[in-house]
Amino acid sequence: ADIAAGKAKAATCAACHGANGIAAIPTYPNLAGQNAGYLEAALKAYKAGQRTSPQAAIMKGMAMPLSDTDIKNLSAYFSSLK
């Protein structure tokens, strides 16, 4: 995975998940240091519409335009944050 490309892609995510991967909003998850494999699974679940809670709708919109490569790079980037 390309962590630098993930970082560039993550500009949008920072608004809710924090520039350092620590979420500004308590009902949103911190992503820093999370398992990359889990982040990939979660992004794919949002993209596939397998998460249907009210707040999941926001993430579905975010995940829809992401390619598998974007998902891999974003996951590696956030996982790399301490």
- Measure the CA–CA gap between 43 and 10, rounded to whole angstroms: 13
Dihedrals phi, psi of 25, to nearest 5 degrees? -115, 125
Structural tokens at position 14: 């920072």
Identity of the residue, 8 or 22, whose beta carbon is nearer to its own copies in the bound complex: 22
Taking CB under 8 A as the criterion, which residues in 39-78 touch its own copies? Answer: 40-42, 44-45, 48, 50-53, 55-56
Identity of the residue, 54 or 65, whose beta carbon is nearer to its own copies in the bound complex: 54
Binding site for its own copies (CB under 8 A): 23, 25-30, 33-38, 40-42, 44-45, 48, 50-53, 55-56
